[in-house]
Amino acid sequence: MSDWQPSASIQQLTQRAQLLTQVRQFFAQHNVLEVETPLLCSHAVTDPHMPILTADNPLLGEQPYYLQSSPEYAMKRLLAAGSGPIYQLCKAFRGGEQSCRHNPEFTMLEWYRPGFDHFQLMAEISDLLVAVMAAPAAQQIAYGELFQQYLAINPHTATAKELEQVARQHIDIQMHSDQCDDWLNLLIAEVIEPKLGFAAPLFIYDYPASQAALAKVAMDANGHAVAQRFELYVQGIELANGYFELTDSAEQARRFQQEQQQRQQLAKPVMASDSYLLAALESGLPECAGVALGFDRLVMLVLQQNNISDVLSFTSDRA
């Protein structure tokens, strides 16, 4: 039996450690404070599409606990308490199918910049990629322009039926939905994403307002309501997701309630909204931008590996 062996080579693990050092040096040079927040949380995200892992154990008592899917809520509490710019390299946990790019336990690099908007943060992320993987300066494209370029359709005005027709021209699927976002997400994942970020890292910004999550919403130059968020693609891989962060506690509570309703419609258990986050927002979250970057995927790109198992000591099915 050789199952006890690590999934990555010792050489690859050494290179991974060197990359961790480079990342920490980058933030030290930029005066961003490293922090640690709990992995075991009393609240989980309410996103109905996020596969949450629980930590049920009689020794923890009756209070439900969850393995964090992101340190975002806790880090925003630190920001509201006056931490200034912060970053964290930590484990995060998400369910779903294990694949060449996804392991249920993974390492996330997340950081927040008070006083930055999402464009300023995109520039800093580009600087990080130049420093750690010698990437060329990143490019940017608006979500609407991206769909016009690849599929000749306006994602902000197209109906679900129109998006479905485009999807069936490119993908052999059995899916049925009357939700525009379902078709938009399918099209970007299956048709557009594999073509992105080969000449240089590519940021997509100005997503539909319906996909705002925890980002601010504004009007673009064409009069469309857009989410002030971005995603980063490198060599066909989604690497990071960032926001010009929502600071309005009432609007955040409304979005939590909307997600609860979606969970009910999907016959999923209702999750208690994070009262600590709402209290922190009410106290006053500074205007800031934040991003979550998949560190394991970054290592894959730097080491030119095609499978996440090749950059992890042990994958979850072998731990």
250-259 residue pLDDT tens: 999 999 999 9
Structure token digits, residue 316: 């979850």
Question: In the CATH scheme, what is the homologous superfamily, with its name and number, of domain 10-136+246-318?
Answer: Bira Bifunctional Protein; Domain 2 (3.30.930.10)
pLDDT in tens, 183-197: 999 999 999 999 999
Q: Rounded to 10 degrees, what is the CA torsion of 16, 17, 18, 23?
A: 90
Distance CA 149, CA 136 (A): 22
pTM for the predicted model, two decimal places: 0.94
Domain borders along the chain are: 10-136+246-318
Residue 2: its pLDDT value, please?
Answer: 66
What share of the chain in percent tops pLDDT 90? 85
Residue 68: its pLDDT value, please?
Answer: 94
**Which one is predicted more confidently, 217 or 266?**
217
* Nearest of 259, 210, 199 to residue 233 by alpha carbon: 199
Q: Give the 3-state DSSP-derived string for 10-43, with helices as H, strands as E and coil as C.
A: HHHHHHHHHHHHHHHHHHHHCCCEECCCCCEECC
Residue 319: its pLDDT value, please?
Answer: 47
